[in-house]
Structure 1
Amino acid sequence: MRNPYMVLGVPRSATGEEIKAAFRRKAKASHPDRNHDNPDAAARFNAINSAYEIIGNSEKRRLFDNGHIDAQGRPLTRKSVFSGFTGMNSWAGFNFKRAKPQGFEETGSTTTEEKPETREQESHEEIMERIFGESFVRSKAEDAPGLDEHPEPDKADLDLHAEIEVSLEEVLSASCQDAELPDGRIVKVNVPAAVEDGRVLRLHGKGVQASDGQCGDAVITIRYKAHKYLRTDGADLITDLAVPLKGGILGAKLPVDGLDGRFLVKVPSWSGSDRVLRVRGKGLPNGGKGRGDLYVHVRLMLPDAKDDDLTAFAKSSL
């Protein structure tokens, strides 16, 4: 588990509100529902939540900062700074009895001295704590190598994620768009022509800069804006065409609005509302294979005003 401060992209001095704000930004940008084409999104989202569980909680944050728990909230075993020194093994047999003056004779009287057997069972750490104080050993242990294990951040943790929306008309040609990053910066994104919905563009070096000098990227996901009358199906487009009842029976040529402007389509005679007309090459760019098609769904419409002749005809046909 990586350092939760690096996962959320905040310094150790960050306030609780700053940590909460960073968590919300990163969780929103990395949520799997918004990153269907990114297989790493779920793992990153889980890492962001785990990091916030540690430093988003004041008590757990205090324990983590003091080295009492690791990045997963597990207790850390306090090590002695004197462990590993082979020369210290000779202390095990050391006799802590004070030297008695020559001619001194023991009596049966009680003494305030601890029994030698008790002292001989003390560990190296307990001995040094008793001599120098517990705070000395703790402070030295926390400074010892391997105890404050905060590995260098993974470069992916330094990335900043954002989304930009492009209109279907803009997909036909290259454009330059503004993207707002989670840290509030605005970056320019050159969106290529024929860009696909969900495509990820990477701006190198525009992410978070770590203390060791490495810098993440700005990862921008492209989303199509909802169109007022066109729907997408891959590279194909779908639209509805209102056809008067007379045109559906006798046939008609009616205008249709597409990405390239308005054009006429021929509605064959006797076309019901289940009829779909295909107009080739009027869809979206299809990955270097030209363009998709436009599918026009016929929707028969009754006249706005009541038509007595149509009413009579309907009654006569029953």
Structure 2
Amino acid sequence: MRDPYKTLGVKRDAGVDEIKAAWRNMAKAVHPDHNLNDPTATERFAEIGRAYDTLKDPKKRSRYDQVLGMAAAKSREQTIMQQRQAQHEAEARAKVARANAEKVLEELARANAQKAQKASNAAAAGAAQTQAGNASAGKSQASAAQSAPANESPEDMVERIFGAQARASAPNTEQGAGADKRPDSGYQDGAARGETEEAEPVAASGIGSIISLPPFGILSSLVRRITGAAPTLEKAPDIAAEASITLEDILKGNWISVMLSDGREQRFQAMPGMSDGHVVHLKGQGLKLQGMQRGDVAITVHLTPDDRFAIRGFDLHTALPVTIENAVLGCRTHVEGLSGSVDVTVPAWSGSDHVIRIPNEGLPNGDGGKGDLVVELRLMLWEKPDDRITDLMRIRKDGLFL
């Protein structure tokens, strides 16, 4: 069952008299006898009756409030569980990152050892060249080049670990330290900026400086140097909430407050273009978990029922009672619109199935336009019987003509 408070358009602390008045007004507006062309009128009328039956009885209302409180507590519990699950996943990713960092450290240490070995071999080859002469020295150098272990540069190591595509997209380190320093706009929090500052000395100091960095600094430095951008952090789950607004809120641009499941209060502005079921996203106002981007708040907007109109998208529907003579002969009258009285011309021979659409008298759609005011005619009888009309209808029914 839909929330009876929302169905009747009353607050949760509304009194008995306020609930009863809201029920009477809504029941009168959606009564099936006054909405013959609306196939949903009977269902809406029954829903309003069920909502009033729940709220007028103190026991039923108390039970519903208890169930609602339990549902809210369960929602908060689920949010906490989501936070814990996200934290566990972040810890697992951190563990994998540390293992990768240790692997990179080992590879860098091996590269340094190979470089030192090559320098030692080159020194030994130089001494042999001095003793044996130019001819034998050339032969010794060729032999040393073939027998020396392959010296793997950091770029070659990156290609072997991360693939050839990473090597192809890596910036040229031979351009010097100044060319490698650039701001990293992919992060917005202080911790990420700290990583950017930490990675700056790498190009100037060489491999030895990379080894001194912590594991996460190494990985972020390598990713930036390979891809030229910071890694995208996974986004935390959104917090879902609901809020009720009125037509007046939309027209005046009122600010709406909503309580979140974690106990915080957030505000958003009712704006043109909002309709029933519209979702408002508050960026970066949701869950804040370590190692993840902060989530959003997703607020589903529900329009409070209005006594004057039935709201369908951006169109406003209203009923206009007309008497038999006005339906047959036609007339000029007026109906209530959002901004005041609106003139309406009823054509001659208009029945209860006739609809008059008045453009640009509905809700603003957010694109500079407006919906329509849809006037649905309702054929009404006089308050007291009229003998002449009764005789005329009898003659029409029996086929008797004078």
Q: TM-score with structure 1 length normalisation?
A: 0.49
Q: TM-score with structure 2 length normalisation?
A: 0.40
Higher helix fraction: Structure 1 or Structure 2? Answer: 2
